[in-house]
Amino acid sequence: MSHASRSFYKVMRTLDDIRLEIERATERRAELLHVLAEGHDVVVAAEHAGVEEDIARLWDEYRAAKVHGRFGDRDVIIKRARLEERLERAA
C-alpha cells in the first residue's frame, strides 16, 4: 500500500462514524431551531449556520466514503481511465 493510500485510510472515517456525527449535528440543529423559534438571537443564529455547514460537509464526506468503499480510490480510477483512453487512441 502506498504512502498516499495509508494516509487516506487514516483520514477516512467509517460510514457509521459519519452517520453518528450527522445524527448528533441534526439533534443540535433541532435544539437551536427550538431556541430560535422563541426569539431571534444572533449568537444562536450564528451557531445554527455553523451547524448547517457542518451537516452539509458531513453529508459530502458520507457520500465520498460510500463511493470510495464501492468503487475504490478516485485517483486510481482516473489513472486507469486515462490509460484506457490512451490505449484506444493508439489502436
Q: In this structure, what C-alpha cell is assigned to residue 5?
A: 493510500
At residue 7, the pLDDT reads 45
Which of helix, strand or coil describes residue 71? helix
Calculate mean pLDDT across residues 27-48. Answer: 97
Note the pLDDT tens digit of each residue in 52-71: 999 999 999 999 899 888 88
Please compute the mean of the pLDDT values over residues 2-15 and round it to a whole number: 59
Residue with cell 441534526: 26
Interatomic CA distance for residues 83 and 77, integer angstroms: 10
Please check the confidence at residue 24 and state whether its pLDDT lies above 80: yes
Split at pLDDT 50, 70, 90, the class of 12 is low
**What's the whole-model pTM score?**
0.71
Rg of the chain over all Cα atoms, to the nearest angstrom: 20
Tell me the C-alpha distance between 41 and 44, whole Å.
Answer: 5
Contacts of 48 (CB under 8 A, 6+ apart): 29, 32, 33, 36
